[in-house]
Amino acid sequence: HTKILVWWYTFCMIVMKFGGTSVGSAERIEAVAKIVKDRLDKKPVVVVSAVAGTTNSLIKLANEANKVAREQLYEALVAKHEAIVQGLGLPAELLDAEFEQLHELSSSGKKPSKKTIDSFVSFGERLCAILLASTLVKMDVNAKAYPAWDLGMITDDAHGAAEPLPTSPALISEKILALKAVPIITGYIGKTQKGEITTLGRGGSDYTAAIIGAALKAEAIQIWKEVDGILTTDPRLVPEARVVSELAFEEASELAYFGAKVLHPKTILPAMKAGVPVQVLNTFNPAGTGTTIVSSFTERKEKSHSVEAMTFKKGVTAIHVNSPEFFDGSGLMAQLFKIFEKHKTSIDVVSTSVAGVSVTIDNVEHLEALTDALAELGTVTIEANKAVVCIVGGSVNAAGIAGKLFTVLGENNIAVELISQASGGVSLTFVVAESDAESALKVLHKSFIAS
């Protein structure tokens, strides 16, 4: 019976994550506090990022060798947070203990290790959690700030890209269920078993929210932003972009992977595995319906017959390997993939023909060694300054879509290569010259979405 009770209890909980922009000022933090207060019946578990820009400033501070410059950077960080404290009408000394610890950390001036940088950046989320929790308390909500490590976020020691230990989720759920107050938890950071501070990678607060939501088997994970949800494309590029009401995990991952800067790619995984839906909502428009990311593409595909969203990723390099032997050499393909694996380079898009194989990569760190090794298989051609365009939706593999796509691009003199369709028709990706990426997206958005 207790098991069922715990299940029922957690099933009714929501995890709410607020990004840097959503907590960027006293006014925004107040709006966020109100959004949380309005949802107390949902038993919210709140995850926050650092105040916008803070993580970058902390990395700068950590790396500044000059003492005077370091002091200035520190003072600027303090001033920025104190202005928010004042704007919220909170006690002036609210953040003093954290400021003092940060000051002590920054007194060394030694070239920081990855471990030390993690300690520096942890202050961004820690300060912000205190700001939001104190604002809620001022609004008569029983809220409390927690560094994630106090609630079971125990990670490996891969500083800068840490992963929670397999034992972490059970600990997280146990600790959170025992709380009386609404927890305001730091995103992005954790601690190793030895007690050293770690971070989950840039943009990692979404990941924290997903890990916690999956651990609790929450009703939903809400990612609150300053846009209406996942949009059909980057609104900074195409102002007519509109919100997509529903997407499958697979589609959202493809978008995230190919550059849509709206959800951290890793967010998708723990939530999908646990079958917890992710909602992307707008703090400026809390009544909006946002985007819901559901776990089954096959189910969603039954309902959706359109192209839903598109994105691009620049800075891509295309590699073509041509050899008559690809004609019957299935073994050659295996060798090719082995070479990429050996040189620690992951492939984004693959496209094959009788005469050869073309792939794209975005990490060119090992390009020279790769090229040498690939030369054993055939003639290698490298093309830099490419972009991958990715479109998703229930109909991207429907008859006519690809045809229309290439006609539209052709009419606009945009050359397309390396066309590839993900399995199950989740996405259609292709490569264009980097300089054509923006115009490709604009014309495609116009003909498929905003027409």
- What residues make contact with ligand ADP under the rule CB under 6 A? 19-22, 49, 225-227, 230-231, 233-236, 260-262, 309
x/- contact string, 164-203, with Mg ion (CB under 5 A)? ---------------------------------------x
Distance CA 145, CA 134 (A): 8
- 8 A C-beta contact, residue 229 and residue 244: yes
The Cα 120–Cα 199 span in angstroms is: 10
CB of 261 to ligand ASP, least distance (A): 12
- Residue 190's binding partner among ligand ADP, Mg ion, ligand ASP, none (Cβ under 5 to 8 angstroms by kind) is none
CB of 226 to Mg ion, least distance (A): 10
Does residue 20 bind ligand ASP (CB under 6 A)? yes
As a whole number of angstroms, the distance between CA 51 and CA 18 comes to: 10
442 binds ligand ASP (CB under 6 A): no
Is residue 392 a contact partner of residue 310, using CB atoms and an 8 Å limit?
yes
The H-assigned helical ranges of 260-419 are: 265-274, 297-303, 330-342, 367-374, 401-411
Q: How far is the CB of 192 from Mg ion (least distance, A)?
A: 24
Q: Which of 147, 187, 265, 290 binds ligand ASP (CB under 6 A)?
A: 187
Amino acid identity of residue 1, one-letter, is H
Give helix 54-63 / helix 114-138 axis angle, nearest 10°. Answer: 140
Question: Among residues 205 and 222, whose Cβ is nearest to ligand ASP?
Answer: 205
Interaction of residue 19 with Mg ion, rule CB under 5 A: yes
Residues paired with 309 in a beta bridge: 392
The site map against ligand ASP for 95-134 (x = CB under 6 A) is -----------------------------x----------
Q: Which stretch binds ligand ASP (CB under 6 A): 197-205, 255-263, 278-286, 392-400?
A: 197-205
With CB under 6 A as the contact rule, which of the stretches 172-180, 200-208, 251-259, 335-343 interacts with ligand ASP? 200-208
Q: Measured at CB, which residue is nearest to ligand ASP? A: 205
Burial zone of 233 (CB within 10 Å; 0-12 exposed, 13-18 middle, 19+ buried): buried
Beta carbon nearer to Mg ion, 264 or 313: 264
359 strand-pairing partners? 319, 350
Q: Which two tokens stand for residue 15?
A: 């995890």
Q: What backbone phi and psi angles, to 5 degrees, belong to 385?
A: 55, 50
Minimal distance, residue 188 CB to ligand ASP, in Å: 4
Whose Cβ is closer to ligand ADP: residue 230's or residue 318's? 230
Shortest Cβ 74–ligand ADP spacing (Å): 23
* Four-point Cα dihedral 241, 34, 181, 55, nearest 10: 50
Which member of 10, 21, 22, 49 binds ligand ASP (CB under 6 A)? Answer: 49
Nearest residue to the partner ligand ADP, using Cβ: 19
Residue 89 CA to residue 360 CA, distance in Å, equals: 53
225 binds, among ligand ASP, Mg ion, ligand ADP, none (CB under 5 to 8 A by kind): ligand ADP
Mapping DSSP to helix (H, G, I), strand (E, B) and coil, where does residue 3 land?
helix
C-alpha 164/C-alpha 157 separation (Å) is 10
Q: Could you say whether residue 24 binds Mg ion (CB under 5 A)?
A: no
- Contact between 55 and ligand ASP (CB under 6 A)? yes
53 C-beta neighbours (distance < 10 Å), count: 14
- Cα atoms in the 13 Å half-sphere on the side-chain side of 118: 24
Q: Nearest distance from residue 52's CB to ligand ASP, in Å?
A: 8
The residue type of 108 is S
Terminal-residue alpha carbon distance, the chain: 55
Measured CA to CA, the distance from residue 422 to residue 169 in angstroms comes to 31
Q: Is 204 in the site for ligand ASP (CB under 6 A)?
A: yes
- Among Mg ion, ligand ASP, ligand ADP, none, partner that 188 touches (CB below 5 to 8 angstroms by kind): ligand ASP
In the chain, the amino acid numbered 167 is T
* Nearer of residues 205 and 311 to ligand ASP, judged by Cβ: 205
Dihedral of alpha carbons 178, 181, 182, 186, sign: negative
Partner from Mg ion, ligand ADP, ligand ASP, none contacting 233, C-beta within 5 to 8 A by type: ligand ADP
Q: Which is nearer to ligand ASP, 24 or 290 (CB)?
A: 24
Q: Is residue 205 within the footprint of ligand ASP (CB under 6 A)?
A: yes
Please name which of 155, 168, 145 lies closest in space to residue 197, comparing C-alpha atoms. 155
Question: Of ligand ASP, ligand ADP, Mg ion, none, which one does residue 164 interact with (CB within 5 to 8 Å by kind)?
Answer: none
CA 317 – CA 383 distance, rounded (Å)? 6
The item of Mg ion, ligand ASP, ligand ADP, none sharing an interface with residue 301, based on CB under 5 to 8 Å by kind, is none
> What is the contact surface with ligand ASP in residues (CB under 6 A)?
19-20, 49-50, 55, 124, 187-188, 202-205
> What is the contact surface with Mg ion in residues (CB under 5 A)?
19, 203
